[in-house]
Amino acid sequence: MVPLLMSEPRKASLMHGLPAASLPTSESLILASGSPRRAELLTAAGYDFTVMIAGEDAECGMCSRETAPEMVARYAYRKAADVVSRIETGFVLAADTVASCVGQILGKPRNQEHAEEILRLLSGRRHDVYTGVCLWSAKQNRCLVDVVRTELEMLPLTEEMLEEYLESMKWEGKAGAFGYQDGHDWLFVRSGSESNVVGLPMERLVELLENFNSTAETVNTGSISSPDGSSS
């Protein structure tokens, strides 16, 4: 299944004026994600990078009573750790995004039936989107993890709207079964970063890059246990 690229309705505004920062090391940037949307955001902001996709086992399992922020922090860390274990040098950027509503963590739908279940839960409700971000210098053996939250609201969906959207297949490969970038008039950001909903909080990424040398911690590259992620 190939995730859909951004469509035009919100793409122009999302891609315009994205902030960027210099890398804190001399290493080349590596995006540890196969998401075309994250790649589009980085490209639009002017970053040069290569892609190295983390193994599937980096996203396996959910810990008991784990919250959405804790889960995306752990997954982002595991994705970065997987890529770092395969290289000698490189500045790795990994991320993981989920939606959360009434205490339920909503990842990518498994099929159309699951997508319908998720959308019925979100219909008429406010909900949160969390993205965990991990930056890791393979050369320095140092990393940092952060979590960013955005609040959205989905207007009530009629049966006709729901059926039409499900048939469009635009829910495929998207956390929460929706793509904010697709420009739906029934989905709004109430607070926080728009790019975070797409999969990478570009404003926070700049802050993390600028503060990496003073805040990153030395890690054991042989470990993929999750550090604590902080919300912002």
Q: Which residues are catalytic?
A: 96
Whole-angstrom distance, CA of residue 120 vs CA of residue 117: 5
Tell me the Cα Rg of the chain. Answer: 17
Which residues are 50's β-sheet partners?
30
Structure tokens at 160: 């006709």
Among 53, 210, 193, CA closest to 130:
193
Does residue 82 sit in helix, strand or coil? Answer: helix
Look up residue 64 and give its two tokens. 């008991």
> Which residue is it, tokens 């979590």?
147
Distance of CA 132 to the CA centre of its chain: 6
Residue 149 has φ and ψ, to the nearest 5°, of -115, 140
8 A C-beta contact, residue 107 and residue 98: yes
Q: Is 211 exposed, middle or buried (0-12, 13-18, 19+ CB in 10 A)?
A: middle
